Amino acid sequence: MRPLPQPARESLTLPPVLHALGDPVRLELVRRAWARPESSCSALADGLNVALSTLSNHFRILREAGLISMTVDGRHRRIRPRADDLGDRFPGLIEPILRLSAAESVNSDPR
């Protein structure tokens, strides 16, 4: 299991986090990652009509903003939400966003 590089908790800043969340596909991926920690990239993207290269870019943006951790595990990439880091740096931020995005989601029953 090899972790991909990510920003340290103390260097997280608000604009990149909001930017990362400001895309419908990324917002849905975050919602699913929070609902199902330790999922693979492909499991989280299930049913989203997005090209692999685009998806890979979305996960990179989420990782670089500090929203998720990614580890390479053989042929799989595992996604872990950085819930503790975000809660520490930005208390009260992610909960309303997840709640509101669930209400807007076209697929509110992620597998």
Q: How many CB atoms lie within 10 A of CB 99?
A: 10
CA–CA gap between residue 42 and residue 8 (Å, rounded): 26
Among residues 24 and 47, whose Cβ is nearest to a copy of itself? 24
Q: Work out how close the CB of 65 gets to a copy of itself at its nearest, in angstroms, rounded to a whole number.
A: 9
Q: How far is the C-alpha of 26 from the C-alpha of 111, rounded, in Å?
A: 16
- Cβ of residue 3: shortest distance to a copy of itself, in angstroms? 25
- HSE toward the beta carbon, residue 36, CA cutoff 13 A: 16
Residues in contact with 106: Cβ distance below 8 Å, sequence separation at least 6, in sequence order: none
Instruction: Closer to a copy of itself by CB, 4 or 102: give it.
Output: 102
Between 44 and 67, name the residue whose CB sits nearer to a copy of itself: 67
Binding-site ranges for a copy of itself (CB under 8 A): 13-24, 27, 90-93, 96-97, 99-101, 104
Output the CA angle 29-7-46, nearest 5 degrees. 15
Q: Measured from the CB of residue 46, what is the shortest distance to a copy of itself in angstroms?
A: 20
| Shortest CB 13 distance to a copy of itself, Å | 6
